[in-house]
Structure 1
Amino acid sequence: MLTLFQALWPLFALIVGGYLLRRWDFPGEAFWPAAERLNYFILFPALLFSSLATAPLDNPALPRLALAVFIGLGAGWVALLLARRLLGWPAARFGALTQGLLRFNTYLGLAAIGSLHGKDGLAIAALMLALMVPTVNLMSVWALTAERGVSLGGLLRPMARNPLILACLAGALVNLAGVGLPGGSDRLLNLLAVASLPLGLLCVGAALRPQELTGEIPALAWNCALRLLAMPALAFAVALGLRLPSMESAILVLFFALPTAPTAYVLTRQLGGDSHLMAGIITLQTLLAGASLLLVMQLMTGSTSLAG
């Protein structure tokens, strides 16, 4: 538990720091949108590209890891569709709840994986992101537009413009081509990548909206419980069933235990979803994740030890 705590608390300290800095209006309101854009379009894609360009694509566990990802996301998606049919959620609400259950905070995830598993863990995580980011984005767009319908082009167009997806695709192509990262380009990308995660975590904190934690307490409570506890339990069961190696299992569970992504708020507003509910989900999940991640990873470590 102490090792996990020492690995995770600095990440949440940065999130709290970002919240306090924005509340104190430092370095100024204009800084945060610019910082988010810099990170989203330049720094974070550099991290994903460099990780995938050097990732071990010959890892024999990768097909099982991919299957585990799709089983976990698929089970959550089917449960949401059934709940929508039973409860009659409008698309605006369904889209927010879907993102609360299926999307994940990539900044926090990669920072935690880097702290716990180092460069090898980041390479596996980047491979998972190459599968999860487009899948979850497709589900989110469809959920938010379910009532008015959307064409195939309308679903795929955001994917074609998403810098994270493009970075994953480019990194995988470089890896498969076997050209590597020559001429010091690996050093340049590493410098950009090092800046990405702390800036991303500060921006996560700056985006928190505690004032939105009103009026939707039951929905916030069950959505947070499912995302932070039930989804990682499902991922752990799938990892055991597919006999994934320990590091791959830990990374899978951690991704399914992450709070939802702050960018879900932007997508919700753009597509006419319930932005009040979405902001509340993002804020509460992020606040609770400090304790839930410690609990989930500790339980998983104990269960793995007993199984071994």
Structure 2
Amino acid sequence: MSTVIYAIAPIFALIFVGFGLRRINFPGDGFWPVSERLTYYVLFPGLLVHGVAGRPIQADSLPLSGGVLLAVLVVALLARLVWPLFKLDGPAYTSLFQGAFRPNTYIALSVAAALLGPDWMTLSAVAMMSMIPAVNIVCVLTLSRHGSGGGGGVRDVLRELAKNPLILACLAGLSINLLGLSLPRMLNDLLDILGRAALPMGLLAAGAGLRFQMLDGCKRSLVASSVLHLFVLPVVAAGLVRLFGGDALAVQTAVIFTAIPVSVSSFILARQMGGDHQLMAQIITFQTMISVVTLPMMLIILT
């Protein structure tokens, strides 16, 4: 228990440092969007390629992959079923929907690095490769149908997935791994240096994206999305991975990638595609705050 808490505490402390820096306007409003793009398109891909290349693929990859993917689809269906209970309009529903399962990979990778041991990156790559395409497809299609701004169809979703730097980096690392290749020493060292900056920069950016606002009568949908994401999703994922024959490390990975709060990028997507971005901001902030308690609790209970 103490190991989990001590591993997670510095991660959330860094998130709140990012929030504090944004509040005092240091180093300036223009810094955070640029730093987030740098982290997303350069630092995190470097971390993933370096971490996955040359590491053996675990035998429990299939139970982990199938468990987290099916868990996302189950909770997406549950979010659709509870929609009528809250009498939300379409844009507000899309925010509840995203909040129910879209993961913050910055936090997930940081927790994985702290808890999963030497194979943390390979396990993380398996989880992300299983979740990210499905999450993006169902979220974009839902916003296309129920958001006020409309959006692209399946072709546009697939085009965006083909350009997703995290997916491309995972594929590159796994391909190098499966082909038995090794990175040139200079390139390997370069990716190592880039990767070291990825996690702290990602966590600071996550904190800078928090927005504290009045709840404005949306408490029920905010709580519903958080219960689905922070409690139901990890329980379903852990159960499915065990059902599929995954070992303890696979279960722990599944919980880490499903018990984390919703991604800050959900706010950007909601604003671009006509979702209720104000509700989305509240869900992001609320989940990030309470996951300080719920994430270690789920890890202790389920693993």
- The amino acid of 2:60's aligned partner reads A
Name the structure 1 match of 2:190: 188
Name the structure 1 match of 2:291: 289
Superposed, which structure 2 residues align to 1:150-189 within 5 Å? 150-189=152-191
Asked whether the equivalents of residues 20 and 206 of structure 1 are also in contact (C-alpha less than 8 Å), the reply is: yes
Task: Work out the CA distance in 1 between the residues paired with 2:153 and 2:224.
Answer: 32
Cα gap change, 1:163 to 1:120, in 2 (>3 Å): same
SS in 2 for 1:210: coil
Task: Work out the CA distance in 2 between the residues paired with 1:230 and 1:145.
Answer: 26
Asked whether the equivalents of residues 229 and 257 of structure 1 are also in contact (C-alpha less than 8 Å), the reply is: yes
Aligned residues: 300
Asked whether the equivalents of residues 104 and 258 of structure 1 are also in contact (C-alpha less than 8 Å), the reply is: yes
Shift of 1:86: 6.8
- The amino acid of 1:14's aligned partner reads L
Cα gap change, 1:169 to 1:216, in 2 (>3 Å): same
Deviates further, 122-131 or 206-215: 206-215
Name the structure 2 match of 1:304: none
Task: Work out the CA distance in 2 between the residues paired with 1:212 and 1:201.
Answer: 24
Superposed, which structure 2 residues align to 1:68-147 within 5 Å? 68-84=67-83, 89-147=88-146
SS in 2 for 1:145: helix
SS in 1 for 2:185: coil
Cα gap change, 1:150 to 1:203, in 2 (>3 Å): closer
Shift of 1:275: 0.2
Shift of 1:87: 6.1
Provide the alpha-carbon RMSD of the alignment.
1.8
Asked whether the equivalents of residues 94 and 143 of structure 1 are also in contact (C-alpha less than 8 Å), the reply is: no
| 1:7 and 2:7 matched | yes
Name the structure 1 match of 2:36: 36
Shift of 1:233: 1.3
CA displacement 1:214-255 (0-9 Å, x = unmatched): 331111112112211111111222122223111111010111
Asked whether the equivalents of residues 68 and 258 of structure 2 are also in contact (C-alpha less than 8 Å), the reply is: no
SS in 1 for 2:145: coil
Asked whether the equivalents of residues 143 and 151 of structure 2 are also in contact (C-alpha less than 8 Å), the reply is: no
Asked whether the equivalents of residues 109 and 254 of structure 1 are also in contact (C-alpha less than 8 Å), the reply is: yes
Task: Work out the CA distance in 2 between the residues paired with 1:55 and 1:131.
Answer: 18
Task: Work out the CA distance in 2 between the residues paired with 1:200 and 1:93.
Answer: 27
CA displacement 1:183-236 (0-9 Å, x = unmatched): 232221111111000111011111100115433111111211221111111122
Asked whether the equivalents of residues 207 and 262 of structure 1 are also in contact (C-alpha less than 8 Å), the reply is: yes
CA displacement 1:269-294 (0-9 Å, x = unmatched): 11111101110110000001110011
Shift of 1:88: 6.5
Asked whether the equivalents of residues 94 and 144 of structure 1 are also in contact (C-alpha less than 8 Å), the reply is: no
SS in 2 for 1:178: coil
Asked whether the equivalents of residues 101 and 228 of structure 2 are also in contact (C-alpha less than 8 Å), the reply is: no
Task: Work out the CA distance in 1 between the residues paired with 2:55 and 2:284.
Answer: 31
- The amino acid of 1:206's aligned partner reads A
- The amino acid of 1:123's aligned partner reads T
Cα gap change, 1:293 to 1:265, in 2 (>3 Å): same
Name the structure 2 match of 1:233: 235
CA displacement 1:61-90 (0-9 Å, x = unmatched): 112222112221121122223334676754
Deviates further, 87-96 or 25-34: 87-96
Provide structure 1 residue ranges, at least 5 long, that are not aligned to the other structure: 302-308
Superposed, which structure 2 residues align to 1:225-264 within 5 Å? 225-264=227-266
SS in 1 for 2:56: coil
TM-score (norm 1): 0.92
Provide structure 2 residue ranges, at least 5 long, that are not aligned to the other structure: none
| 1:277 and 2:276 matched | no
- The amino acid of 2:155's aligned partner reads G
Shift of 1:133: 1.0
Task: Work out the CA distance in 2 between the residues paired with 1:186 and 1:213.
Answer: 47
Shift of 1:176: 2.4
Task: Work out the CA distance in 2 between the residues paired with 1:151 and 1:291.
Answer: 38
Cα gap change, 1:240 to 1:273, in 2 (>3 Å): same
Asked whether the equivalents of residues 54 and 181 of structure 2 are also in contact (C-alpha less than 8 Å), the reply is: no
